[in-house]
Every structure is written in C-alpha cells, then in structure tokens.
Amino acid sequence: MPSISRLRPGHAEALLAFERENRAYFAASVPDRGDDFFAAFAERHRTLLAEQDAGLHHFHLIEDDDGGILGRINLVRIHDGSAELGYRIAEKAAGRGLATWAVQQVCVLAVQEYGLSALRAETTLDNTGSRAVLARTGFEPLEDVMFGDRPGRRYVLDLSGGAPRAR
C-alpha cells in the first residue's frame, strides 16, 4: 500500500535518483527541468526544505512499502488560504490510479493539516492522464494558459466544504 510522507532531508539521494530515472518520461508531458536542476540538486533540496519550514510550501513523496519513491505531490506558493498543486508519478507506477489517490490524500491534508480552502493546478492540454486526474478529484477548468512553451489549462478546486471525494 502506498503512503504519503512529508519531504525530509534524508530523502535527497532517493529523490534525485527518482528525478533522473524519470526525466525523459516527465519531459514528454511537462517542460524539462534542465541540467542545472540536477547539477545543483543538493542545494535546491536544502532551500526547498527551508521554504517548507517557513510555511511557504508543503512537499510530499509517494512511497511504496519499501520506501521507494513512486511519485511526488506538492502544495506550493501558499497564499491567502490557497496553494498550487503539482504532482509527478514514476513511469513504472503510472496508469494505476496512484495520482488520483495521491491527489485525494493531499486534498485531505490541505484542509485538515494546512488549513487551505482552495487549490490551483495547471497541466498541458496533451497530458490527458493529468487532466483526467484533476477531473476525477473535483478540479474545475478555469482558463487556458501556456505551460512553458506548450498550451495548457489552469484548474481550481474549492476546499471550503472539505476535501472532495473522487468522481
């Protein structure tokens, strides 16, 4: 059974391996993070943890029973009771409902642990899997946007009534 854990300093090595292993897979649906992301990963990890400690973001890993990383799911840019949702699922774990489950779990955390009342999300128009996850978890399309250099869509989820159930 997968679990969600808050990002910690000890996750750095495994998280870097996860990002490297899935780099090409992720780049097929979202803009690539670039070589600098990997070269400066340790410093970036420390910076993100400091920002998390300051309450600016909430970073999470999706782990298997053995502690292997299956994905990431984050709430970033927290402001006025809302945050932006972002997630990445490993290629080996894709297509099994893991992203939908993880979004549901993070919605519960957003309400119960972090006191958030709304989430935003963006994805590219050609990322049908991500668009389906957002629809199943109650996100409503808001507007079309550019996601890097690719057409995308922005979504919103009202959490003022609590975390929604999957559709």
Distances (CA, A) of 141 to 82, 97, 134, 144, 156: 16, 21, 9, 8, 7
Tokens of residue 104, six digits: 């549901």
Place of tokens 């300051």: 54
Q: What is the pLDDT of residue 156?
A: 97
- 41-49-37 Cα angle (round to 5): 20
pLDDT attached to residue 166: 57
What digits encode the pLDDT tens for the residues 60-91? 999 999 889 999 999 999 999 999 999 999 99
pLDDT of residue 82: 96
Nearest Cα residue to 57 out of 67, 44, 68, 41: 44
Alpha helices in 4-151 (DSSP H): 12-21, 23-27, 35-39, 41-53, 98-112, 128-136
**pLDDT tens readout for residues 9-67:** 999 999 999 999 998 888 887 766 877 887 888 899 999 999 999 999 999 999 999 88
Residue 162 has pLDDT above 90, yes or no: no
d(CA 99, CA 59): 15
The proportion of the chain whose per-residue pLDDT surpasses 90, expressed as a percent, equals 74
Looking at residue 167, what is its pLDDT?
57
pLDDT tens digits along 88-132? 999 999 999 999 999 999 999 999 999 999 999 999 998 899 999
| CA atoms of 159 and 93, how far apart (whole Å) | 27
Q: What is the pLDDT of residue 31?
A: 67
Mean residue pLDDT across the chain = 91
User: In the structure encoding, which two tokens stand for residue 3, read together?
Assistant: 């679990």
Domain ranges of the chain: 3-158
For the chain, counts of helices (H) and of strands (E): 6, 7
> Which CATH superfamily groups domain 3-158?
Gcn5-related N-acetyltransferase (GNAT) (3.40.630.30)
